[in-house]
Amino acid sequence: MPVGPAEQEAALRQVDALLGSALRPEGLTELCRFLRRAFAHYTWVGVYRLEGSTLVLDGWDGERATEHVRIPLDQGLCGKAAREDRTVLVGDVRSSPEYLSCFLDTRSEIVVPVRAGGRVVGEIDVDGQSTNAYDRTDDAFLTEVARRLGPWLARPA
């Protein structure tokens, strides 16, 4: 389901408002909640921050919590996105040997690195319940959210 330009513009204004007024970790949870509610095909949204060589879940929204609250960089699609400093988009997670299963109904995943100061400081992880749920519009939108989130996520806790 493509994310249209008008939707992106309105959503980015809300992202800016959330990042401008929120404190961590509640702010990241609010951001995840907003993204999930604004885009129905985002069925689980999480923000991980990078701590050494481990991704640590800092905020999330979805029907259920994930057991993957700490992910080493050498594991899963999340580890791959941070390790390779690139977006990882998988249309059918059942065909990916790197996928760390969180929920039985997840079919698609997009993971976008969050950068600050020229380095990866975290990532946005979005799961979907249909195959091929995400496309280049989601990538472009989430990349812009990640760009705005970078300096905020890099701040000391």
Beta pairing partners, 112: 124
Sign of the dihedral defined by the CA atoms of residues 33, 38, 44, 49, in that order: negative
Give the amino acid at 29: T
The answer to whether the pTM exceeds 0.85 is yes
Answer for the pair 3, 39: CB distance below 8 angstroms, yes or no.
yes
pLDDT in tens, 1-28: 667 777 888 999 999 888 886 555 578 8
Domains of the chain: 5-154 (3.30.450.40)
pLDDT in tens, 134-156: 999 999 999 999 999 999 888 77
Structure tokens at 61: 């929204």
On the question of a cis peptide bond just before residue 25, with omega within 30 degrees of 0, the verdict is: yes
SS3 94: helix
Contacts for 37 with CB less than 8 Å, ≥ 6 apart: none
pLDDT in tens, 72-117: 999 999 999 999 999 999 989 888 777 666 766 789 999 999 999 9
Per-chain mean pLDDT for the chain = 89
Contacts for 72 with CB less than 8 Å, ≥ 6 apart: 53, 54, 55, 79
CA dist., res. 107 & res. 53, Å (int): 27
